[in-house]
Amino acid sequence: MPPRIVIIGGGFGGLYTARGLRHAEADITLVDRHNYHLFQPLLYQVATAALNPSDIAAPIRSIVRHQVNISVVLGDAIGIDVDAKRVQLADGMLDYDFLVVAAGATHSYFAHPEWERDAPGLKTIDDALEIRRRVLTAYEAAERESDPAKQAEWLTFVIIGAGPTGVELAGALSEIARQTMVRDFRHIKPESARVILLEGMNRVLPPYPPGLSASAKKQLESLGVEVITGAFASDVNDREVRLAGDRVIPTRTVLWAAGVQASPLAKSLGVPLDRAGRVLVEPDLTIPGHKEVFVIGDLAAVKQRDGTFVPGVAPAAIQEGQHTAYNLDRALEGQPLRAFRYRDKGSLATIGRAAAVADLGKIKLSGFLAWIAWLAIHIFFLIGFRNRFLVITQWAWAYLTYQRGARLITRDDKMSSRA
Amino acid sequence: MPPRIVIIGGGFGGLYTARGLRHAEADITLVDRHNYHLFQPLLYQVATAALNPSDIAAPIRSIVRHQVNISVVLGDAIGIDVDAKRVQLADGMLDYDFLVVAAGATHSYFAHPEWERDAPGLKTIDDALEIRRRVLTAYEAAERESDPAKQAEWLTFVIIGAGPTGVELAGALSEIARQTMVRDFRHIKPESARVILLEGMNRVLPPYPPGLSASAKKQLESLGVEVITGAFASDVNDREVRLAGDRVIPTRTVLWAAGVQASPLAKSLGVPLDRAGRVLVEPDLTIPGHKEVFVIGDLAAVKQRDGTFVPGVAPAAIQEGQHTAYNLDRALEGQPLRAFRYRDKGSLATIGRAAAVADLGKIKLSGFLAWIAWLAIHIFFLIGFRNRFLVITQWAWAYLTYQRGARLITRDDKMSSRA
């Protein structure tokens, strides 16, 4: 019987591990709690009504259909017994000879889990549809409201956290207000909506070089976003965001882009974790004492030679997946594992229509050129031709007409409570 | 102050009334509980993962943005006081001088409302996404099931009702089993799935000429659908459908396409209704005693000169909407109302890839030619260029590759209960 390899998670890390094992004589099981692989870097486009869910997601089964050594299982991994070499699912179990844990991360509300209800984060398609529903509903509520103060609350959108996701959301929400919605209402002026981006550090995009942060801030402001740095939220509820120092922003729509936390699955491995709950892996991406258990992607804390950690971005997860497939091929042949080394190809963040920043090592771009680079790279990496093609048509259309095609308020209360 | 016209419902009837009033000097309010107009004839394509919701729906505001005499309100009309000339919303009210009620219909489970949970119908986008979730989840559950009998239950799909919607759903589900899914699974053979279409009458598509019914049945069977006519469900639950005569079909997925019932809003008008709850309107589509209240679309029972009723189809709602706009223009000028007359341009029903039937009066088509006619007419009527264009690209792609692009299981339980 061929060795059994179980991969938990169909994100970038898990999927690239699976694809890298296409020639392996192994019995591979890829388990994910969703039936789709999600191209997460474009998820904010679904949340802001520019793309449909299926433009950025494809069934995992479909992606690996030609790789006969893989079975795909829709299931929720809830625990790992590394001694028994067994993964516990919510409704079953999977035995393994080799395990790859690529279960990713979720939002972190630090000490305030109660904020989640009023400040949803953006990790899954359901999150994106929920954010879309809230944003579109806010304009509808403002249109029906006659009290100007209450109208202004509905037309104030606060994004907490100015990392790449927060910056992208802020830029897109500002475009919605100033371009998409502008002729659709009779009683409100959508272009009077305020989009406020809060960041605790002293600049936006903190991991980027200061020059690009400054350029990003300028581009955001020219899109109409109000940027407030050095601002920590002390309270979030359904009527306001309160900042340390007691400044209050009345708002009905708050989005959370401030922090992530590793999947709780990491705990069941019984090995040391960092503060964010990520697994401190060995240089070959295995866990201490278990050369048959690999942890990759956002769930892994991978220390580099210079003492810094590999960033939690898609290219890192892809490289770790490819490397793990290579190491598994070696392990199956009885060869020793090799250490992983991250090749940083630079960072990109988009801000809005033809606005972005790019840090490609020696080359630093901003504005239109950075946006074109961003566009080309993201379209290139979208998995599956169909998605790539449709994304181009939708974007081209949206660019030409300032429209957003997916402006539907779905998930009405009736259905949600029925399901 | 210009006269106030309130239109309840942004479906075909309400929307065509609104558009027909583009030159009217009136203060028009269009109220709908959804923010989108839905192209209902293609809703089954969303339910069967071929199209995205936004391909067949567009924000009502967007459609009427250039018509400055219209305000759009997102709201739920729950009652009408024809004496006070006032519409009660769930959270407010609207006074009118003229009222157009185009609130449509919903599913009817006859005397068995408890069947709704296990046999969802198809009227809204949320319905379609729920059906899509159930169908895709059934294949995943079958793949994980080791007991062949239980596997067969998951791979049995029952559609109750063989009107146009039931026939379309059955054809599409059969294509999913035999083409879309066929290489994606390791443990089950999707092409072994059974799709069973139940009809109480003695033939499919009962309103059509018998020859076309026979052709439709033949086309369905060549797609692999099992057609059972003269079959009434006596019980529906989450494990089986029981037929009168005690035949039992074990199944985990039942879809309801058997009956519709007018919106309960009709009752608050205080005028005679037919058995399905539709309003028995005057020849000019007003209600008895109130020349300022019009009822159109699926909510209206419109008697024709030959004693039959106008069918509950999209072309009838469109014509009634256009006629009502014409009558309102006349009323605003103090002219008497004119009687409505339905121009029947024929019926079309699609069955699957290149399979359909068309009854165009003297011309009766089936197979590929009928399908081309169906395709051309539906694309032509899709409101808004963007939708039309994208629908063509998606269909062309699906046709060439036997793929369905929107195979995502969303609305997971976590989200549904959170919302």
Which of A35, A53, A419 lies at the smallest CB-CB distance from B413? A419
Pick the range with the lowest mean pLDDT from A228-232, A281-285, B3-7, B394-398: B394-398
pLDDT digits (tens, 9 = 90+) for B331-367: 999 999 999 999 988 888 888 877 888 888 888 888 8
Tell whether A388 is within 8 A of chain B (Cβ): no
The confidence score (pLDDT) of residue A326 equals 97
Res. B312 pLDDT band, cuts 50 70 90: confident
Res. B377 pLDDT band, cuts 50 70 90: confident
Q: What percent of chain A has pLDDT over 90?
A: 66
The answer to whether B397 contacts A405, with C-beta atoms less than 8 Å apart, is no
Res. A222 pLDDT band, cuts 50 70 90: very high
The answer to whether A73 contacts B407, with C-beta atoms less than 8 Å apart, is no
3-state secondary structure chain A: CCCEEEEECCCHHHHHHHHHCCCCCCEEEEEECCCEEECHHHHHHHHCCCCCHHHCEEEHHHHCCCCCCEEEEECCEEEEECCCCEEEECCEEEECCEEEECCCEEECCCCCHHHCCCCCCCCCHHHHHHHHHHHHHHHHHHHHCCCHHHHHHHCEEEEECCCHHHHHHHHHHHHHHHHHCCCCCCCCCHHHCEEEEEECCCCCCCCCCHHHHHHHHHHHHHCCEEEEECCCEEEECCCEEEECCCCEEECCEEEECCCEEECHHHHHHCCCECCCCCEECCCCCEECCEEEEEECHHHEECECCCCCECCCCHHHHHHHHHHHHHHHHHHHCCCCCCCCCCCCCCEEEEEECCEEEEEECCEEEECHHHHHHHHHHHHHHCCCHHHHHHHHHHHHHHHHHCCCCCCCCCCCHHHHHHC
Which of B61, B186, B419 lies at the smallest CB-CB distance from A411? B419
The confidence score (pLDDT) of residue B12 equals 93
The answer to whether B35 contacts A62, with C-beta atoms less than 8 Å apart, is no
pLDDT digits (tens, 9 = 90+) for A145-163: 999 999 999 999 999 999 9
**Average pLDDT taken over every residue of chain B:** 89
Residue B348 CA from chain centroid, whole number: 14
Residues A383-412 have a mean pLDDT of 62
Q: Residue B25: exposed, middle, or buried by beta-carbon count in 10 A (0-12, 13-18, 19+)?
A: exposed
Pick the range with the lowest mean pLDDT from A383-387, B37-41, B365-369: A383-387
pLDDT digits (tens, 9 = 90+) for A228-273: 999 999 999 999 999 988 899 999 999 999 988 999 999 999 999 9
Pick the range with the lowest mean pLDDT from A34-48, A103-117, A344-358, B98-112: A344-358
Residues A76-88 have a mean pLDDT of 97
The confidence score (pLDDT) of residue A402 equals 60
Residues B273-285 have a mean pLDDT of 95
The confidence score (pLDDT) of residue B350 equals 85
The answer to whether B66 contacts A136, with C-beta atoms less than 8 Å apart, is no
Which of B92, B389, B411 lies at the smallest CB-CB distance from A419? B411
pLDDT digits (tens, 9 = 90+) for A102-121: 999 988 898 899 999 999 99
Residues B188-214 have a mean pLDDT of 93
The answer on pLDDT for A376 being more than 80 is no
The answer to whether B186 contacts A130, with C-beta atoms less than 8 Å apart, is no
The confidence score (pLDDT) of residue A398 equals 61
The answer on pLDDT for B37 being more than 50 is yes
Residues A367-378 have a mean pLDDT of 80
A168 tagged catalytic: yes
Catalytic option among A168, A199, A282, A320: A168
The confidence score (pLDDT) of residue A412 equals 53
Q: Looking at per-residue confidence, does A45 or B225 come out higher?
A: B225
- Selection from A40, A222, A194 nearest residue A121 by Cα: A40
The answer on pLDDT for B399 being more than 70 is no
Res. B370 pLDDT band, cuts 50 70 90: confident
Return residues 134-193 of B near A (CB < 8 Å).
136-137, 140, 143-144, 183-187
Residues A175-188 have a mean pLDDT of 88
The answer on pLDDT for A416 being more than 70 is no
The answer on pLDDT for A399 being more than 70 is no
The answer to whether B57 contacts A136, with C-beta atoms less than 8 Å apart, is no
pLDDT digits (tens, 9 = 90+) for A318-350: 999 999 999 999 999 999 999 999 998 888 888
Which of A73, A184, A403 lies at the smallest CB-CB distance from B386? A403
pLDDT digits (tens, 9 = 90+) for A279-332: 999 999 999 999 999 999 999 999 999 999 998 888 899 999 999 999 999 999
**Average pLDDT taken over every residue of chain A:** 89
The confidence score (pLDDT) of residue B157 equals 98
Return residues 314-373 of B near A (CB < 8 Å).
none
The answer on pLDDT for A5 being more than 90 is yes
Tell whether A92 is within 8 A of chain B (Cβ): yes
Res. B375 pLDDT band, cuts 50 70 90: confident
The confidence score (pLDDT) of residue B224 equals 95
The confidence score (pLDDT) of residue B334 equals 95
The answer on pLDDT for B99 being more than 70 is yes
Q: Looking at per-residue confidence, does A193 or A346 come out higher?
A: A193
- Selection from B119, B77, B85 nearest residue B253 by Cα: B119
CA distance A372 to chain B (A): 24
pLDDT digits (tens, 9 = 90+) for B121-137: 999 999 999 999 999 99
- Selection from B353, B384, B352, B358 nearest residue B370 by Cα: B358
Tell whether A19 is within 8 A of chain B (Cβ): no
Residues B140-163 have a mean pLDDT of 95
Q: Is B197 helix (H, G, I), strand (E, B) or coil?
A: strand
The confidence score (pLDDT) of residue A294 equals 98
The confidence score (pLDDT) of residue A414 equals 38
User: What single-letter DSSP state applies at residue B170?
Assistant: H
Res. A417 pLDDT band, cuts 50 70 90: very low
pTM comes to: 0.86
Pick the range with the lowest mean pLDDT from A316-325, B84-93, B344-353, B397-406: B397-406
